Structure 1
Amino acid sequence: MKILVIRFSSMGDIIYTTPVVRCLKKQLPCAEVHFITKPAFKYIYDNNPYLDKLLLLKPKLSDTIADIKAEGYDHIIDLHNNLRTTIIKLRTRIPSSTYNKQTILKWLSLKLRKNLVPPVHLVDRYLQTVKFLGVANDGAPIDYYIKKEYQLADLLPATHQNSYTAFVIGATHFTKRMPNQKIISICKDITGQVVLLGGDDVKANGDEIALSLGEKVYNACGKTTLDESVFLVSQAKSIAGFDTGLTHIAEAFDRPIVSIWGGTVPDLLGVQPYMVKQSLVAGIDLDCRPCSKFGLEKCPLGHFKCMWDIPEKPITDFINS
């Protein structure tokens, strides 16, 4: 049996497909399991022992369809369910099982500010697509395989190499990020050292936070590659972060995690921390929340209470416990 699993984007959504690939391979050991995604996200499946082959989406969809036809798949597991995957399924005529996005329920939840989506994690929603093959959830965390053997001494100053909290301060959209002043206030009450993680886009934010707190905080934003950042979260004593890919990847290492949510909510997307023994989801109930499914460039009402008003003590108590 030859199976193709499809998910083109984004980082967080793809990382939650890894249990599907693992369960397929382990529970159907004779099956050949392939995965296709955008080239920008191939790193998520690098070194994954449960995947037989990784295909990459090409600029021309017709070329991708030709590649898929040439492989001779028995089944397509469509975990994206968009126009492109629909065209692929129609053009290849390969038997398929498709992830139910629950688009209407999510839209109504957003418009009515009511959680109408059943509280089922995205991993379990994905796994429904392979139930017909007799494949079930194995109860293990997501998978991420660090590409190299790194040393803390090469990535962090000596003051931060023994024990630290990793704080992921980056996120794609403004309404997913906590204001610098709020992060500074939380970091002040964290026992021990703090390492800030994120890309070049939040390097200046990290500089401002580190400047306010001195040697307690090391700003690694923009200084480490994604793989190095994943290594740093894997070695942290605890992790805090927003609704962003690196925070979700951190779940692969079963460290205590504080998942902080602003304008978006985890229940709508089904992406609360998965199979993590110790976790805290931080957020507050507001009439205006959630304001979007994936985040916005500014608070629609201008007050940004969803982040400013999050209680800090439960976060720092969890990290310091």
Structure 2
Amino acid sequence: MPNGLKRILIVRTSAIGDVVFASPLAAALRRTYPDAHIAWLLEPGIAPLIADDPCLDAVITWPKAEWKALWRAGRQLELWRRVRAFRAQLRSHRFDTVLDLQGLLKSGLLAWLTGAPRRIGLGSKEGSRLLMTDVVERGGDAARISSEYLHLAQYLGLECGDFLPRLVMSDVVQTRAREVMARHGLAPRAFVACAPFTTRPQKHWFEDAWGILCARLIERGLTPVLLGGPADAEAAARIASTNAGIVNLAGATRLPEAAAMIGEAALLVGVDTGLTHMGTAMNTPTVALFGSTCPYTVTGRDNARVIWLGLECSPCRRHPTCGGAYHCLRDITPERVLDVAGMLLPALA
């Protein structure tokens, strides 16, 4: 990247976990170009997660849901008007360079709409390569957290530092999170944040295992707190019904407040999901459970551990061969999770 670079846009519109993984890129850009204008483009639901990052000058939201609704309603003319208005908004920032971290056709189109003279795509596919001026193939040490984004940062010659996920919550967000904690009698460092849910069942640890783990935590004087979105409410209620000492906040907090609560927790235990990766970003002791997906086993932090059995069939990603048995997760016992957690939290040893 040229030394005179002044206006940079990061495009990583979703998902939560990938935004967390990519978060150190903003700091690397700021260290390298302290006077640059740095912005991030992403979907509205995730935007609050990085809205308070001091390394960003602007957070731009892409109204994807609105565009899809107009398309489904057959209102193509209004959709075209909205697209043109959004293009004008993007071009008003006069970006020199766009970094498309997603590498998909949709993200490539968004990068192209900016009119930036340099558009760098990470692992671009789905035809998005044709919309880029440069393409950087994905690389890096797959065992390390945030590796592909570190690979891009190194390619660009950025001052990478430790290049670990980082989230910054405002005082307002932290106050709201503490108000939620107070309503449920949760003291800082006296509860364990649990992140059991994802959008893919093959990434889930089993509900009975969560029930056993929560019971063991309660026996040791720690309150398990279930975190998740509205879609997770039913499953969370089933887990919570196993023990009156479990606090169920699935669907009851906004994303930034959940992140702030994770920052206040004594420990986080979770599956391969965005909330779990926030544990590392908030420097909270974290135990991450991986099964069907490729894990990062190098967390970059002394207080974070990954449990992955490394079965021959794992990672299968979206194509399990076990008929739904998911031995890769079933064979991770609550006792093993507690043993690993005890390495990070003496109260559990």
What interval of TM-score do these two structures reach, taking the shorter chain for normalisation? Answer: 0.7 to 0.9
Is 2:169 aligned against 1:142? no
**Which residue matches 1:165?**
192
**Which residue matches 1:84?**
106
Distance 1:87 1:151, change over 3 A: closer
Distance 1:150 1:140, change over 3 A: farther
**Which residue matches 1:232?**
261
**Which residue matches 1:258?**
287
Q: Secondary structure at the match of 1:15?
A: helix
Query: Which amino acid in structure 1 is aligned with residue 204 of structure 2?
Result: R
Higher mean Cα deviation, 56-65 or 182-191?
Answer: 56-65
**Which residue matches 1:68?**
90
TM-score (norm 2): 0.76
Gaps of 5+ in 2: 1-5, 68-81, 127-138, 342-347
**Which residue matches 1:291?**
316
Q: Secondary structure at the match of 1:266?
A: coil
Please list the CA deviations of residues 174-216 of structure 1 after superposition, one character each: whole Å capped at 9, or x if unmatched.
111112111112223332222121223332333332332232x
Give the CA deviation at 1:75.
1.4
Q: In 1, Cα distance between the equivalents of 2:262 and 2:298?
A: 15
Describe how 1:302-317 pairs up with structure 2 within 5 A.
302-317=324-339
Q: Tell me if the contact between 2:140 and 2:147 (Cα under 8 Å) persists in the aligned partners.
A: no
**Which residue matches 2:181?**
155
Q: Secondary structure at the match of 2:46?
A: helix
Distance 1:34 1:181, change over 3 A: same
- Runs of 4+ in structure 1 deviating by more than 6 angstroms, as ranges, are none
Q: Tell me if the contact between 2:206 and 2:329 (Cα under 8 Å) persists in the aligned partners.
A: yes
Q: Tell me if the contact between 1:142 and 1:274 (Cα under 8 Å) persists in the aligned partners.
A: no
TM-score (norm 1): 0.82
Q: In 2, Cα distance between the equivalents of 1:245 and 1:151?
A: 18
Q: Secondary structure at the match of 1:240?
A: strand
Give the CA deviation at 1:53.
1.5
Q: In 1, Cα distance between the equivalents of 2:148 and 2:180?
A: 40
Is 2:276 aligned against 1:247? yes
Q: In 2, Cα distance between the equivalents of 1:143 and 1:118?
A: 19
Please list the CA deviations of residues 18-74 of structure 1 after superposition, one character each: whole Å capped at 9, or x if unmatched.
211111112211211111112222112211111111222243555444433332222
Q: Tell me if the contact between 1:165 and 1:237 (Cα under 8 Å) persists in the aligned partners.
A: yes
Distance 1:257 1:25, change over 3 A: same
**Which residue matches 2:304?**
279
Q: In 2, Cα distance between the equivalents of 1:273 and 1:63?
A: 43
Is 2:223 aligned against 1:197? no
Q: Tell me if the contact between 2:9 and 2:41 (Cα under 8 Å) persists in the aligned partners.
A: yes
Is 2:211 aligned against 1:184? yes
Higher mean Cα deviation, 220-229 or 118-127?
Answer: 118-127
**Which residue matches 1:15?**
20
